[in-house]
A and B are shown apart, each in its own frame.
Chain A
Amino acid sequence: MSDVADRVKKIVVEHLSVEESKVTDNASFIDDLGADSLDTVELVMAFEEEFGIEIPDDAAENIQTFGDAVKFISEAS
């Protein structure tokens, strides 16, 4: 697993208090990991800080799964 994926996973596990094994590529933050819409906003904020990038609102809306997040961040950073 890439370094980006590890760091993203750590943030997701901490923020949503879920088990690491549940954070799979296809895991949806809202449907599978128990996030509400505000949690997803906070996750994006945390990703921005961790990776020193800016994630525009329209891109953030498309980040719905762990895999989406890793893909977007890998391309942006």
Chain B
Amino acid sequence: MFDLTGKCALITGASGGIGGEIARSLHAAGATVGLSGTRTEPLEALAAELGERTFVLPCNLGDFAAVEALPKDAAKAMGAVDILVNNAGITRDNLFMRMSDDEWQSVIDVNLTSTFKLCKGVLRGMMKARWGRIVNISSVVGATGNPGQGNYAAAKAGMVGMSKSLAYEVASRGITVNAVAPGFITTAMTDKLSDDQKAAILTQVPAGRMGEPEEIAAAVLYLSSPEAAYVTGTTLHVNGGMAML
């Protein structure tokens, strides 16, 4: 089950906690992986850990020219992009009334617009191959909202609507487009929270604990697999029950 031998996967944000784990999991299933991220060092370290079938493809997703070049570079390096995982994301939290245009725009650019551009960039190859998997990493806050994250929640909700629209368009070509919406996962992004904040969040999580990156990676592996061919346009919530959607 879930054998990705011969498939090539491009993963953005592979230098982060969740992205790195997604890369490990797809690689372990037999896929060739293209590791993208802003910081080269952690990508190189991950590539060294994984060994063969691994390519490092640094890219700043705030730079649209670089974003447009990434699918082509990835296809050139790996031979194809059969699986795209849009995992990279940034936060610029602020109260809505204090949020600057720049805080708004940078989060929309990196989290939503780059996802649009990367999806568009890989579609040609997937259409020709009559096979493709796109998995967009959204967030529980895209569905529930979160104080201080008007920009982030907008981008993450936007990814879901975009995924569904694209899923309609390309379903007949063997391409699925889905989203995974993590809840609170132990990563650098949530390490920034204070213990009090974490304790408060956990009172809202029936499972009573934070999630692990591996638990997001498992969801991505499933949606990337041949077995998930009939699953498209859906959002798989992995959040310990904190929002049952």
B128 contacts the other chain (CB 8 A): yes
- In the bound complex, do residue A45 and residue B128 qualify as a contact, i.e. CB atoms below 8 Å apart? yes
A25 contacts the other chain (CB 8 A): no
CB neighbours (8 Å) of A59 from chain B are none
- Give the distance in Å from the alpha carbon of A41 to the alpha carbon of B127 in the complex: 10
A38 contacts the other chain (CB 8 A): yes
A50 contacts the other chain (CB 8 A): no
B99 contacts the other chain (CB 8 A): no
**What distance in Å separates the Cβ of B174 from its nearest Cβ neighbour in chain A?**
12
- In the bound complex, do residue A38 and residue B170 qualify as a contact, i.e. CB atoms below 8 Å apart? yes
CB neighbours (8 Å) of B169 from chain A are 38
B53 contacts the other chain (CB 8 A): no
B173 contacts the other chain (CB 8 A): yes
**Contact mask for chain B residues 115-133; partner A; CB cutoff 8 A; 1 contact, 0 none:** 0000000001001100000
- Nearest B-chain residue to A36, judged by Cβ: B172
Interface residues of A, Cβ cutoff 8 Å to B: 38, 41-42, 45
Identify 9 residue pairs between A and B in the complex whose beta-carbon atoms are under 8 Å apart, listed by A's number.
A38-B169, A38-B170, A38-B172, A38-B173, A41-B127, A42-B127, A45-B124, A45-B127, A45-B128
